[in-house]
Amino acid sequence: MKKNLVIVESPTKANTIGRFLPKEFLVRSSFGHIRDLPEKSFGVDIKNNFKPKFIILPKSRKVVSFLKKEAKKAENIILATDEDREGEAIAYHLKEVLGLKDYQRIVFHEITKNAIEEALKNPRKIDKNLVYSQFGRRVLDRIVGYMLSPFLWRKVARGLSAGRVQSVAVRLIVEREKEIKRFVPQEYWTIQALLCKAQSAKRKAQNYNSKVKANFFALLIKKDGKTIPKLGIRSKEEAEKIVNELKGAEFIVKNIERKEAKKNPPPPFITSTLQQEAWQRFRFSAKKTMILAQNLYEKGFITYHRTDSLNLSKLALSSARKFIEANLGKEYWKFRTFKTKSKVAQEAHEAIRPTYVQNTPEDLEKKLEKDQLRLYDLIWRRFLATQMKEAVFDSTIVEIEAKPRWKSQESNAKNQKRAKNQEPKYTFLASGQTLKFDGFLKIWPMKFEEKTLPELEREEQLKLEKLLPKQHFTQPPPRYTEATLIKTLEKYGIGRPSTYAPIISTIQERNYVEKDEQKRFRPTEIGIVVNDLLVKHFPEIVDIQFTAKMEEELDEIAKGKKQWTEVVREFYEPFEENLKKKEE
């Protein structure tokens, strides 16, 4: 009996899908990409409208031979590779290599029984625009890498290479390093007052026991009603002058503002924010995070992990509500949807979430490895938090006026009054907050400080215990971490969900950047030399806006709004002309 052949990219994905399909379905893996541009030659026919010369990868020859045999025996062939640009390209190459005329293409956001059955009911053909977008990216990257590298060999050293998007990432790191080296620290001072309620001084002497601290700190923020800027007090002498003026001053409560402050939960994860959070919490590299997420997706525990959409399905939202109300209480649930900021995000896709919210991290302890479980726990908690009430704090802000007592030696009353009016008036600010309702913080812990102020009243006089002047110096901008570099690339529109991790891996593998003791990026000497050369001779290659525009054009190809060959031509012609000039 002939079977239905389903082809996916990985053996793990094949095993998971196989569990959901009846016996008449056979699931096989292509083990990733089966075709690509040749490694040892250019592989792009410039004169023939940039036609790429794809070859079967040496590692894939046995797999291709096996899949051809399986395809001949099958009644129907279903291509079930991932739903993004790379997945669509793999499906296209399978169709071409296996010579498929009659086939079905199915896509899904998660590997669950329902999702697979729904996808089989709604097959489609390969999305040529998505494939052409991948062609465009691959050909552009090959042009830059293949044509620019010999220029670097002549100018610097053999074996060097340049990348279209990677070079921008290196530039960001090099420029940050130069900024740090140019930075000149500036001295500034802050002044805090340690205050307490006047009547509590006696109670303290009597060992008065209270949960609320009688003393508290307040920060100097204004002089004569004008805000003191960050660098407003520039030296020890200036700070000491203020401290001397405040000796013996009266500290009076002038204003008390009590209000409820609410903190909303963060949005669900997309690729970039998952990579950032995994770095901040566990110090996972972007590459490691993507390997772990890939594994969780292929095992059917989370939705597709390469996404820039904040969308959540109705079924997922309903499941979250049921779980929260049953396990945490009805008072914790709140329906929320999130708007995707990215102009190019595909709203049909979903954010990264657990496929079944009922699968708690505790339930999966024996099914997942340690780091897989840590990442799953992060995704599970973040998703549930998005459907929970905000945390509520009781917030108190107190303005305290400090007026130095008049010490003038003037003799007559008129002069005394004038001197008193010229005395400076200082304003201090004290703030406190206490958690009233934990809301989403019950499941998504975040750092916050609870600070309780004593009960105060307007016009109440306070006792000054001590003044604390403190010296500070402005700090240079920090080096990039993996998290902050991804955030910056995303902010400028450089790279896409599938490319952040490869960008970061590539610039390290090429020895253009390295990590310091704090795991922050610093450029190597060769990285600085290569970057400076590219900035001087090929500024558009390392230009942030230019690279972001190219990314947008690749997205336009995916939507069918631009021809991939035209986008490549518009880049190639001025690039080749500039390269010729440099070689003359």
Look at residue 405 in the predicted model and tell me its pLDDT: 72
Look at residue 46 in the predicted model and tell me its pLDDT: 96
CATH topology of domain 4-126: Rossmann fold (3.40.50)
Look at residue 409 in the predicted model and tell me its pLDDT: 44
Look at residue 347 in the predicted model and tell me its pLDDT: 45
Domain 188-264+393-473 belongs to what architecture? Distorted Sandwich (2.70)
Look at residue 133 in the predicted model and tell me its pLDDT: 96
Nearest Cα neighbor of 495 from 306, 365, 259 is: 306
Supply the residues annotated as catalytic. Answer: 304
As beta bridge partners, residue 193 has 218, 467
d(C-alpha 552, C-alpha 343), whole Å: 9
Token pair recorded at residue 552: 């947008």
Q: Which 8-state DSSP code applies to residue 124?
A: B
d(C-alpha 107, C-alpha 91), whole Å: 11
Q: Where are the domains of the chain?
A: 4-126, 132-183+478-583, 188-264+393-473, 271-386
| Cα–Cα separations (whole angstroms), residue 46 to 51, 99, 149, 425, 564 | 7, 26, 18, 75, 13
Distance from the first to the final alpha carbon of the chain: 67
Q: Which 8-state DSSP code applies to residue 406?
A: P
As beta bridge partners, residue 401 has 252, 427
Token pair recorded at residue 121: 């009911």
Dihedral over Cα of 375, 378, 382, 384: its sign: positive
List Cβ neighbours of 541 (8 Å cut-off, separation of 6 or more). Answer: 144, 148, 162, 164, 167, 534, 575
Look at residue 515 in the predicted model and tell me its pLDDT: 97
Tell me the CATH number for domain 271-386: 1.10.290.10
pLDDT along the chain (584 residues), means of 10: 91 96 96 95 96 97 97 96 94 97 95 96 96 96 94 89 93 98 98 88 50 82 96 97 93 96 96 97 97 97 95 96 98 94 63 97 97 98 98 97 68 50 84 97 93 95 96 98 96 91 95 96 97 94 94 95 97 94 80
Look at residue 159 in the predicted model and tell me its pLDDT: 86
User: Other C-beta atoms within 10 Å of 369: how many?
Assistant: 9
The residue behind tokens 């971490």 is: 481
Note whether 245 and 220 are within 8 A (CB): no
pTM: 0.90
Three-state SS for 425? coil
Strands 76-79 and 4-8: parallel
Tell me the CATH number for domain 132-183+478-583: 1.10.460.10
Residue type present at position 523: P
Note whether 131 and 143 are within 8 A (CB): no
